[in-house]
Structure 1
């Protein structure tokens, strides 16, 4: 299950503590790139989305920093 943590100043973290497609994502990194692209597309051009933690690189979770272009 994921959660959202507000960092303030137009920034928050989108945290995924469990990856339901971890086995598939291990075999195909395109799935993770697609997830990031979807977040960016849905949130729009005025928002920056950056993956800061990634399960497939050894992190305990996937986390994305989301911020408005103005921050």
Structure 2
């Protein structure tokens, strides 16, 4: 993306998809302030709505080569 995240979306075949960020342009800040990563997860959940579950499956700060989030159906009623 223009912001430098090298992001992609990959369908998983079980009605879920994987949102992948292959690069983190704010990695140094995220290492110093891990709350940034938590807020990113909260933003994804808020934007995608109550009708989905968002969970982080890979995390650069924890040593993974990328950050990845599984987005799957579930949770409460979707926001309109």
Q: TM-score, normalised by structure 1?
A: 0.95
Find 2:16's aligned residue among 11, 20, 23.
Answer: 11
Name the structure where strand makes up a greater proportion of residues. Answer: 1
Structure 1: which 5+ runs fail to align? none
Runs of 4+ in 1 over 4 A off after TM superposition: none
Q: Which has the bigger relative contact order, CA under 8 A and spacing at least 6? A: 1
**Larger-gyration structure (1/2):** 2
Structure 2: which 5+ runs fail to align? 1-5, 76-80
Root mean square deviation of aligned Cα: 1.1
